[in-house]
């Protein structure tokens, strides 16, 4: 019996190793298609759908560090997106600082905010932590609405120009390639973190925090690390988002619906997996955007209805997300 179990584990390990080149080939193919997509499809709307898919896939991957691997479900990640967006646009409008510098600075400011608010909130677990992040989002929105130097309730706009240094283009294609580069950076960062000792500690804390502490894992430090790194990646995407749409206000930045969308792409694809959020975004965002356009003004809120329906179906038939379809196919073919 022991020999059979050992042989089964060996075969599973060999299957994973032989599957790596196949995965690499698929990833390379996807990257090539994405890189040449604007050259093949000049339609700005189609390019925008891919940009939004990349953005939400990356936002879901950043959230997944906290919600998936650490096991702390946050519904307030739009706070960090809004902080990054406002930081980037304010630095551009007030100090004329290029977004090439403003976007990473927005990530740093978002990380600093996460460090401050993470001290009390990360002590909470379960639905208490989730409610605390929702409260954080409401407080942030209220503060920004009353800050006249940040545009108040009307928000702030990016200047109109055609300047590569200021990340201001009349065409959407340059933003596409910037989004692709930022998505690759996010994918690489999350892959390295999850496969490192830090990622193993996160999973240990998620599995049983008390047991992890008893084995010497500094849980508070690694919970904070997940929260801060997740916020930094989210803040960088917030800076890109602000430059891309050219405008930001409290309602569009510190929005609970936006936070829920970030969570949904990860849940739909599969939390606690590297590919899950990207898969969820690749299916959910184009479908929701297409339905919104098809329904027009009569379809207000149809995307939210689709999000809810998708989560119900996944919860009923694929509780661990769409990523499990591949795992099932692999097990059935072995």
**pLDDT value of position 15:** 45
Q: What is the mean pLDDT of residues 269-277?
A: 89
The number of distinct structural domains making up the chain is 1
Is residue 117 domain-resident? Answer: yes
Q: What is the mean pLDDT of residues 245-250?
A: 91
**Model confidence, pTM:** 0.86
**pLDDT value of position 101:** 95
Q: How far is CA 146 from CA 24, 139, 184, 186, 255, in A?
A: 49, 11, 36, 33, 16
Is residue 19 domain-resident? Answer: no
- Lowest model confidence (mean pLDDT) among 12-16, 139-143, 204-208: 12-16
pLDDT class of 149 with cuts at 50, 70, 90:
confident
**pLDDT value of position 228:** 97
Residues spanned by the domain of 215: 41-254
For residue 104, give the nearest of 242, 229, 232, 190 by alpha carbon: 232
Could you tell me the two tokens for 30?
């996807």
Is residue 88 domain-resident? Answer: yes
Q: What is the DSSP string of 143-204?
A: HHHT-GGGTGGG-EEPPP--BTTTTB-SSSHHHHHHHHHHHHHHHHHHHHHHHSHHHHHHHH
Is residue 14 domain-resident? Answer: no
**pLDDT value of position 173:** 84
Per the prediction, the chain carries an average pLDDT of 84
Please determine, for residue 11, whether its predicted confidence score (pLDDT) is greater than 50.
no
Could you tell me the two tokens for 222?
């690694």
- Lowest model confidence (mean pLDDT) among 10-24, 171-185, 296-310: 10-24
Is residue 23 domain-resident? Answer: no
Tell me which of 296 and 87 has the higher pLDDT.
87
What element of type H or E holds 66? none
Is residue 291 domain-resident? Answer: no
**pLDDT value of position 104:** 96
Measure the CA–CA gap between 293 and 85, rounded to whole angstroms. 26
Angle at 220 between CA 214 and CA 225, to 5 degrees: 125
Is residue 58 domain-resident? Answer: yes
**pLDDT value of position 9:** 44
Is residue 70 domain-resident? Answer: yes
Tell me which of 321 and 272 has the higher pLDDT.
272
């Amino acid at each position: 019996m022991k020999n059979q179990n050992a042989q089964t584990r060996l075969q599973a390990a060999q299957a994973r190793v032989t599957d790596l080149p196949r995965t690499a080939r698929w990833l390379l193919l996807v990257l090539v298609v994405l890189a040449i997509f604007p050259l093949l499809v000049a339609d700005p709307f189609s390019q925008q759908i891919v940009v939004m898919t990349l953005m939400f896939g990356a936002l879901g991957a950043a959230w997944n560090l906290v919600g998936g691997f650490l096991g702390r479900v946050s519904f307030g990640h739009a706070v960090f997106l809004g902080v990054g967006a406002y930081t980037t646009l304010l630095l551009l409008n007030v100090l004329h600082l290029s977004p090439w510098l403003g976007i990473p600075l927005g990530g740093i400011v978002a990380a600093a905010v996460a460090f401050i608010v993470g001290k009390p909130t990360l002590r909470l677990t379960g639905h208490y932590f989730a409610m605390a992040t929702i409260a954080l989002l409401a407080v942030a929105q209220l503060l920004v609405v009353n800050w006249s130097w940040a545009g108040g309730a009307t928000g702030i706009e990016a200047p109109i120009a055609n300047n590569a240094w200021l990340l201001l283009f009349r065409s959407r294609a340059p933003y596409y390639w910037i989004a692709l580069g930022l998505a690759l950076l996010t994918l690489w960062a999350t892959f390295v973190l999850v496969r490192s000792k830090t990622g193993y500690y996160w999973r240990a804390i998620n599995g049983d925090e008390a047991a992890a502490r008893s084995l010497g894992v500094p849980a508070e430090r690694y919970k904070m690390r997940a929260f801060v790194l997740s916020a930094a990646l989210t803040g960088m995407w917030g800076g890109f988002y602000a430059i891309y749409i050219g405008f930001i206000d409290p309602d569009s930045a510190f929005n609970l619906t936006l936070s829920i969308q970030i969570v949904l792409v990860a849940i739909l694809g599969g939390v606690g997996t590297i590919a899950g959020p990207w898969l969820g975004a690749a299916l959910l965002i184009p479908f929701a955007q297409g339905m919104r356009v098809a329904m027009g003004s009569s379809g207000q809120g149809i995307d939210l209805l689709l999000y809810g329906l998708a989560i119900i179906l996944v919860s009923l038939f694929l509780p661990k997300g769409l990523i499990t379809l591949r795992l099932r196919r692999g097990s059935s073919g072995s």
